[in-house]
Amino acid sequence: MSTTKTLLGFIAGAAAGALAGILLAPDKGSETRKKITDKSGELADTVKTSFGDFIDQVKHSYSKAEGVASDFESNTKAKMNNLKSDVKSGMENSF
């Protein structure tokens, strides 16, 4: 989660800095509006890319967890079968 928070903080800081730089620049209104439009487009692209990376990371984590769960299931089934076999042998030997 700290990576996500860091990334969001970076994006927010970049957006705030870009907006402050544009608004404080001594340009004409039309030029400032064009700069705002351009920066907004860049920011949108950055957010899309970051979100895509985040989704890929979530998919990878899910896939990894799925593998761990599958291994756990296999190991548990094997242990239960061994235990069942041991109990069965013990019962046969006691009679």
CA dist 85 and 91 (Å) reads 10
**What is the model's pLDDT at position 36?**
78
Local confidence pLDDT in tens for the 95 residues of the chain: 577 788 778 888 888 887 787 777 777 778 877 877 888 888 888 888 888 888 999 999 999 999 999 999 999 999 999 998 888 887 877 76
**pLDDT value of residue 71:** 92
DSSP string across the chain? -HHHHHHHHHHHHHHHHHHHHHHHS---HHHHHHHHHHHHHHHHHHHHHHHHHHHHHHHHHHHHHHHHHHHHHHHHHHHHHHHHHHHHHHHHHH-
Domain tally, the chain:
1
Two structure tokens written together for 21: 């730089």
CB-facing half-sphere around the CA of 45: CA atoms within 13 A: 6
At residue 50, the pLDDT reads 87
pLDDT at position 72, please? Answer: 94
Provide the residue range defining the domain that includes 53. 2-94
pLDDT of residue 95: 64
Placement of tokens 């899910």 in the chain: 62
